[in-house]
Amino acid sequence: MCIYSIVVPAYNEEANIRALYDRLLAVMEPLKETWELIFVNDGSRDRTLEELEALAKVDNRVRFIDLTRNFGHQAALSAGLAHANGKAVISMDCDLQDPPELIVEMISKWREGFDIVYAQRLNYRKDNFLKRSGSKLYYRMLDKFSDVKIPRNVGDFRLVDRRVLETVNNMEEGSRYLRGMVAWTGFKYTTVDYQRPDRESGESEYTLSQLTRLAMSGLFNFSIIPLKFGLYLGILSIFMGICFLGYMTWDVVIVGAKYEFFKFLVVVLFIFMGFLFILMWLLGEYIGRIYNEVRKRPVYLVNKMGNFEGESVSLQHKD
């Protein structure tokens, strides 16, 4: 058991591993506390694994997990988190975009009693316009729709207390949106600010489709609002159908206009389509419920208990 675990997923990061290790060393050694560094090699195609093996030989606090193939960032991070032993666990990227020096500040917040410390970036990266504005819009949408408050502009650079870690490790859901899962636990959190620098070396391996998938996980795993669209669409369709029908009837009865029969049919169809949409929403509600049941999130988490014999630490209830 050590005090701190640092978990780093790495995909084609041969050039960054040493540099990250050196900078972490400079940050962690002065603390004079025990720590471990867990790398997860996410099926890299370069010499990442060799670098990790070499590093693990010279420093036994460096551990690594080599995955059989590329499973993606969130999966790799989950693997690392599942094997972290520390009382506080820090997750960060391998490409030095998450400055190790910030860890000191995160640790002091943890010592103050926060269970979760997010690193919140102040600037937007020199990404292209699409990624930048997409990212902004996305966070705004997520904020509006999602049932849990996921702080804006935080990535996967964070520190979590052991009890948060264990809750997240116990969540069995397959599509993992870790920052949302961490936020979901509801433990006391705070943020520390930083300027996110550009990637030290190599290219970002996150493709647009991976990024989209991540964004979708965030939206769909943490809100069932999209299911409600059927209801709104249905109501709109029925309302419009009724208006058209009313207008036509008025036209025929009062003005004396002549309408072909199929024109009435079209309007009636509008109304029926509305019912169809509403039916789809109803189905969606059931599906949403099934989804909530199958992923078996705990029903609640306890922060503290008073006057219960011997059970003063966090309890986790699983239904």
16 versus 314: smaller Cβ distance to Mg ion? 16
Compute CA distances 258 → 124, 146, 241, 242, 262, whole Å: 62, 51, 19, 19, 12
Q: Are 34 and 117 in contact (CB under 8 A)?
A: no
51 versus 93: smaller Cβ distance to ligand UDP? 93
Sign of CA dihedral 171, 172, 178, 181: negative
Structure tokens at 121: 């970036």
CB of 131 to Mg ion, least distance (A): 12
Which of 185, 218, 188, 221 minimizes the C-alpha distance to 298?
185
Residue 34 is a binding residue for ligand UDP (CB under 6 A): no
Identify the residue among 7, 10, 84, 102 touching ligand UDP (CB under 6 A): 10
Identify the residue among 97, 120, 146, 314 touching Mg ion (CB under 5 A): 97
Identify the residue among 14, 51, 95, 115 touching ligand UDP (CB under 6 A): 95
86 versus 155: smaller Cβ distance to Mg ion? 155
Residue 49 belongs to what H/E stretch?
A: helix 48-58
CB of 199 to ligand UDP, least distance (A): 6
Residue 106 is a binding residue for ligand UDP (CB under 6 A): no
Distance of CA 147 to the CA centre of its chain: 13
Residue 76 is a binding residue for ligand UDP (CB under 6 A): yes
CB of 23 to ligand UDP, least distance (A): 14
Structure tokens at 138: 């996305």
Residue 97 is a binding residue for ligand UDP (CB under 6 A): yes
CA separation for the pair 106, 4 (Å, rounded) = 12
Contacts of 18 by beta carbon, 8 Å cutoff, 6+ apart: 51, 55
Give the footprint of ligand UDP on this chain (CB under 6 A): 9-11, 13, 42, 70, 72-73, 76, 93-95, 97, 199, 204-206
